[in-house]
Amino acid sequence: MPELPEVETVKRTLEHYLVGKRIEQVTVYYPKIIANQTKREFEKKLEGEVIESFSRRGKWLIFHLTHYELVSHLRMEGKYFMKSSSEEKNCHEHVVFSLSDGTELRYQDTRKFGRMYLFDKGLYLDELPLRDVGYEPWSESLTESYLKAKFKGKRIPIKTTLLDQSIIAGIGNIYADEILFKAHIHPLKMTCQLTKKDCTKIIEATRIILEEAISMGGTTIRSYESEKGVHGRFQQQLLVHNQTVCQVCSYPITRIVVGGRSTYFCGHCQKKR
């Protein structure tokens, strides 16, 4: 699933191609992708809208239009492609935005798990699904005191807690492993046992890991076709996730399952005290 760095990469790329273009027509081929509108409502409301800007909230991508905000979650396999209108549509392209310059933005989703919401301008942050999303990693409100309060009473592994989007927005499975490794915290440590110092280390590690991942285009992102050849290179920098030997101490990497998610850690660097 695309995490914060991948969605940020998609956002920056779509900004480059789409800002200022007008949506002439929208065709929805798989209506279940549209979460809070009917197929007809979604298609009609977007006709004539101009794409003014983009933003991101956690793992959510936001299109800021003339009168609406389009909120998109890629889930497992969602991707956006820029294509010519003359190019044949494939069976996995479920939403097609025909643009004023003759190009098309196509949403492709092999597993059909992605979702799109359309809100009147200015309302998207007050409504689900974004209303309950936690702080961004770089928010000044994300402090050790905030995390300590959120962690209080949570008798679940910290790995599971880091995936809770209502606490810190945008962290997924891959980056949770890398963050805990950098913070020298065992993934099975009970969340309620973390100290303020641990919370500070998590915040610092989160910002460092995600900033580096963004600078390298994420890990496995393939969300658009680009003549620039931009794609995720951060997988080359992973220190524990999907690794066999620790890149720091050469100790064997352990793989376990935590909350149904594959979890990697170094038993030497991340001792469970």
Show which residues are catalytic.
Answer: 2-3, 59, 261
φ/ψ region of 252 (left if φ > 0, alpha if ψ in -120 to 50, else beta) reads beta
Residue 207 tokens, joined: 């910002």
Reading the block at residue 184, the tokens are 């020298």
Is 123 exposed, middle or buried (CB count within 10 Å of its CB: 0-12, 13-18, 19+)? exposed
Kindly list the distances between the CA atom of residue 114 and the CA atoms of 15, 31, 152, 215, in Å, as whole numbers in the listed order.
20, 11, 33, 25
